[in-house]
Amino acid sequence: MLMLDIPAVRTLAGAALHSPGLPSDNPGPPPDAAALREALDQVRAGWAAAGIR
């Protein structure tokens, strides 16, 4: 199992909590599109460093 304990994962998880259909009482605003793209790039880089493509 691959676990990435990096801020990017928390950014993506935060965005998932703000997805339509989930309760609206989640704290904080959703991340902006640029932050999500950067977070996804960081997660992909972490996977690549672990040898996962």
Confidence class of residue 41 from pLDDT cuts 50, 70 and 90? very high
End-to-end CA distance of the chain: 14
How far apart are the C-alpha atoms of 4 and 46, rounded to whole Å? Answer: 7
* Residue 27 in tokens: 């704290």
- Contact 52/40 with Cβ under 8 angstroms? no
Q: What is the mean pLDDT of residues 35-50?
A: 88
Does the pLDDT at position 35 exceed 80?
yes
Is residue 22 over pLDDT 70? no
- Rounded to an integer, what distance in angstroms lies between the CA atom of residue 3 and that of residue 24? 27
Question: Which residue type does 8 have?
Answer: A
